[in-house]
């Protein structure tokens, strides 16, 4: 039931995000929103291609599909999840440049962002494809109704993949994100307004104006990135623990897995809670146009006098 609810909510929420960004001119013109679009599309891929198989298997109490389907499901779910997680790096770097290095913001064009997104997918597949060719593998998760990496394999080659993956696709992200947002926070502290009567330089005023324009987007990104890192943390560390203790109780692996699945569902709520432009656009889509009342004169002809008389009628 939990996986079903997460899947339905994630599908509806991320579909709305994709549709709004693609159809609204205000949202679509921002290169930053292209990164959010990539993240939403990745989360949508998980909810459409992964959750239905897991939900059906959960109800049956066993994995309903073949070993081949298990490998494919493990690959595409891990790929979409990593693509979403990897997108947090350019999002953080864009915020760092916009707030701390505004003179370099002219590089953040749509064309450059498309190349960045392409690089995200190349980096993602470079790490999710090796298990298809023998460096680790995709297999059933301990609770038996879903498929993922073989985290508990004792083979030295498979263990080396897990460790390198952990550093390249999790710790590296935390390091870059922490660096970016530390300097964003430091910049925001330095740009606090002076007392009203205190003199302020033109450069300081311009910097503060730029920061105020970017602050709301920065808040949204910080919340989104932090939540994403947090929900993946239990799953990541439990998977590492499986290397040394393969007999971990099943519920220890099930709960972190369910927690990690929340990642694809939470982002649309974060957009709606922290982005006023997104909320306004969403409201405009569902808001019905008000019916206008038009008052026009009704002209009646007087046959006797040849004149006319006017009566007002509400329509």
Can you give the pLDDT at residue 181? 86
268-312 confidence digits (pLDDT tens): 777 766 666 677 777 776 665 555 555 555 555 455 545 544 454
Q: Is 288 contained in some domain?
A: no
End-to-end alpha-carbon separation of the chain, Å?
A: 51
The whole-angstrom separation of Cα 61 and Cα 59 is 6
Q: Is 134 contained in some domain?
A: yes
Burial class (CB in 10 A: 0-12, 13-18, 19+), 310: exposed
Can you give the pLDDT at residue 167? 92
Q: Is 304 contained in some domain?
A: no
How many domains does the chain fold into? 1
The whole-angstrom separation of Cα 121 and Cα 86 is 8
Q: What integer is the mean pLDDT of 235-262? A: 78
Range with lowest mean pLDDT among 11-15, 102-106, 191-195: 191-195
Separation in Å, CA 191 to CA 47, 132, 179, 293, 304: 41, 50, 19, 51, 81
Confidence of residue 213 (pLDDT cuts 50, 70, 90): low
Q: How many CB atoms lie within 10 A of CB 79?
A: 20
Q: What integer is the mean pLDDT of 183-209? A: 60
Q: What integer is the mean pLDDT of 45-66? A: 89
Can you give the pLDDT at residue 230? 83
Can you give the pLDDT at residue 251? 72
Q: Is 228 contained in some domain?
A: yes
Q: What integer is the mean pLDDT of 68-89? A: 92
Q: Is 245 contained in some domain?
A: yes
Range with lowest mean pLDDT among 119-128, 164-173, 235-244, 279-288: 279-288
Range with lowest mean pLDDT among 208-217, 241-250, 264-273: 208-217
Q: Which domain holds residue 15?
A: 1-282
Strands, DSSP E only, in 150-254?
Answer: none
Q: What integer is the mean pLDDT of 34-54? A: 89
Q: Is 307 contained in some domain?
A: no
111-152 confidence digits (pLDDT tens): 999 999 999 999 999 999 999 999 999 999 888 888 888 888
Q: What percent of the chain has pLDDT over 90?
A: 22
User: What DSSP string describes 111-127?
Assistant: HHHHHHHHHHHHHHHHH
Q: What is the CATH number of the domain that holds 62?
A: 1.20.1070.10
Can you give the pLDDT at residue 286? 66
- Phi-psi category of residue 134: left, alpha or beta, with phi > 0 → left and psi -120 to 50 → alpha: left
Q: What is the mean pLDDT of the chain?
A: 79
Q: Which two tokens stand for residue 94?
A: 């864009």
249-270 confidence digits (pLDDT tens): 777 777 777 777 777 778 777 7
Can you give the pLDDT at residue 122? 97
Q: Which one of 96-100, 133-137, 230-234, 252-256 scores highest in mean pLDDT?
A: 133-137
Q: How many CA atoms lie within 13 A of 236 on its CB side?
A: 19
Q: Is 308 contained in some domain?
A: no
Closest CA to 32 of 101, 78, 88: 88
Can you give the pLDDT at residue 224? 77
Can you give the pLDDT at residue 241? 81
The whole-angstrom separation of Cα 183 and Cα 204 is 17
The set of residues, in sequence order, having a beta carbon less than 8 Å from that of 26 and lying 6+ positions away, is 277, 281
Can you give the pLDDT at residue 127? 94
Q: Which two tokens stand for residue 108?
A: 């953040």
Confidence of residue 200 (pLDDT cuts 50, 70, 90): low
The whole-angstrom separation of Cα 47 and Cα 32 is 23
Q: Strand pairing partners for 298?
A: 311
Strands, DSSP E only, in the chain?
Answer: 138-140, 147-149, 295-301, 308-314
Q: What integer is the mean pLDDT of 97-114? A: 87
Q: Is 140 contained in some domain?
A: yes
């Amino acid at each position: 039931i939990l996986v079903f609810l997460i899947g339905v909510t994630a599908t509806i929420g991320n579909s709305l995000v994709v549709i709004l960004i693609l159809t609204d001119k205000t949202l679509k013109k921002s290169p930053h929103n292209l990164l959010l679009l990539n993240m939403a599309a990745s989360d949508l891929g998980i909810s459409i291609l992964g959750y239905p198989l897991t939900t059906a298997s959960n109800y049956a109490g066993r994995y309903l599909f073949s070993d081949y389907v298990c490998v494919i499901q493990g690959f595409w779910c891990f790929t979409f999840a990593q693509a979403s997680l990897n997108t947090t790096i350019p999002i953080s770097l864009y915020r760092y440049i916009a707030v701390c290095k505004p003179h370099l913001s002219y590089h953040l064009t749509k064309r450059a962002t498309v190349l960045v997104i392409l690089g995200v997918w190349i980096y993602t597949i470079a790490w999710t494809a090796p298990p298809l060719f023998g460096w680790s593998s995709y297999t059933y998760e301990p609770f038996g109704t879903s498929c993922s990496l073989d985290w508990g394999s004792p083979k030295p080659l498979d263990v080396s993949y897990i460790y390198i993956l952990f550093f390249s696709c999790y710790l590296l992200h935390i390091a870059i994100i922490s660096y970016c947002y530390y300097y964003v926070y430091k910049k925001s502290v330095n740009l606090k307004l002076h007392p009203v009567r205190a003199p302020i330089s033109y450069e300081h005023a311009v910097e503060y104006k730029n920061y105020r324009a970017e602050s709301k987007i920065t808040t949204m990104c910080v919340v989104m990135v932090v939540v994403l890192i947090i929900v993946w943390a239990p799953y990541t560390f439990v998977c590492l623990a499986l290397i040394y203790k393969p007999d971990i109780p099943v519920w220890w692996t099930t709960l972190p897995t369910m927690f990690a699945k929340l990642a694809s569902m939470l982002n649309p709520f974060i957009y709606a809670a922290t982005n006023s432009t997104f909320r306004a656009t969403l409201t405009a889509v569902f808001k019905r146009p008000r019916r206008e009342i038009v008052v026009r004169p009704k002209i009646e002809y007087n046959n006797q006098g040849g004149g006319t008389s006017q009566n007002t009628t509400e329509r």
